[in-house]
Amino acid sequence: MSLADATKHFFEQAAAGLDLEPGVRQLLETPQREVMVQVPVVKDDGTLEVYLGFRVQHNDARGPFKGGVRFHPSVDLDEVRGLAALMTWKCAAVNIPYGGGKGGIAVDPFTLNKRELKQMTRTFISKIFPFLGEKIDVPAPDVNTNAEVMGWIVDKANELAHDDVRGVVTGKPIELGGSVGRTEATGRGVALTTLRLLKYLGQDPAKMKVAVQGFGNNGSYTAYYLSQAGCRIVAVSDISGGFGDDNGLDIPAMMEYCKTSDKHLLAGYPDASPISNEQLLEGDVDILIPAALENQITADNADRIKASIVVEAANAPTTPEGDKILAERNIKVVPDILANAGGVTVSYFEWVQNLQSFYWDEDTVNTHLTNIMHNAFDDIWNLAKERNLSLRTAAYTIAIERVVKAMKLKGMLL
Ligand code: NAD
DSSP assignment of 49-107: EEEEEEEEEEE-TTSSEEEEEEEETT--HHHHHHHHHHHHHHHHHTT-S--EEEEEEES
What CATH class has 183-334? alpha beta
How much distance in Å is there from the Cα of 293 to the middle of ligand 1? 6
Apex 64 CA angle, 59 and 66, nearest 5: 80
pLDDT of residue 293: 87
pLDDT at res. 382: 98
Q: What's CA 298's distance to the chain center, in Å?
A: 19
Give the residue numbers annotated as catalytic, written as ranges.
102
User: How many degrees, rounded to 5, is the angle at CA 136 between CA 132 and CA 138?
Assistant: 65
Q: Are 86 and 336 in contact (CB under 8 A)?
A: yes
Let me know if the fold of 3-8+30-165 is the same as that of 183-334: yes
**How confident is residue 116, by pLDDT bands cut at 50, 70 and 90?**
very high
Q: How far is ligand 1, taken at its centre, from the CA of residue 213, in Å?
A: 9
State what percent of residues in the chain have pLDDT above 90.
Answer: 97
What are 387-409's pLDDT values in tens digits?
999 999 999 999 999 999 999 99
157-185 per-position pLDDT tens digit: 999 999 999 999 999 999 999 999 999 99
Index of the ligand 1 atom closest to the CA of residue 238: 21
List ligand 1's pocket residues with C-beta within 6 A: 143, 186, 213-219, 237-239, 277, 291-293, 313-315, 340, 343
Pocket test for ligand 1, best of 79, 192, 217, 334 (most atoms within 8 A of CB): 217
Q: How many CA atoms lie within 13 A of 186 on its CB side?
A: 25
Band (1; pLDDT cuts 50, 70, 90): confident
* Nearest protein CA to atom 37 of ligand 1, as residue: 218
* 237 and 213 Cβ atoms separated by less than 8 Å: yes
* Number of Cβ atoms within 10 Å of the Cβ of 130: 10
The residue whose CB lies within 8 Å of the most ligand 1 atoms, and thus the one to mutate among 79, 102, 222, 239, is: 239
Q: What separation in angstroms does the CA of 87 have from each of 57, 117, 290, 344?
A: 10, 26, 18, 9
pLDDT over threshold 80, residue 118: yes
Residue ID of nearest Cα to ligand 1 atom 28:
292
List the residue whose alpha carbon is closest to atom 1 of ligand 1. Answer: 216
Pocket test for ligand 1, best of 142, 150, 218, 236 (most atoms within 8 A of CB): 218
Q: Could you give the CA distance from residue 14 to residue 41 in angstroms, rounded to a whole number?
A: 43
Residue 28 to residue 268: CA distance in whole angstroms:
47
Per-residue pLDDT for 414 more than 90? no
- The residue nearest atom 19 of ligand 1, judged by CA position, is 239
pLDDT, position 297? 98
Average pLDDT in the 104-108 region?
97
- Helix (H) or strand (E) holding 138, with range, is strand 137-141
Distance CA 331, CA 324 (A): 10
pLDDT level of residue 216 (50, 70, 90 thresholds): very high
CB proximity list for 395: less than 8 A, separation 6 or greater: 89, 93, 335, 337, 338, 380
Strand, coil or helix: what is 383? helix
> Does the predicted model carry a pTM greater than 0.95?
yes
* Total Cβ atoms within 10 A of residue 347: 29
Q: What's residue 320's pLDDT?
A: 97
What average pLDDT does range 98-119 have in this prediction? 97
Query: Superfamily for 3-8+30-165?
Result: Leucine Dehydrogenase, chain A, domain 1 (3.40.50.10860)
Q: Structural domain boundaries of the chain?
A: 3-8+30-165, 183-334
Give residue 214's pLDDT: 97
Per-residue CA distances from 331 to 286, 319, 388 (Å): 10, 15, 15
**Alpha-carbon 49 to chain mean position:** 30
Q: Which of 302, 301, 306, 237 is nearest to 273 (CA)?
A: 237
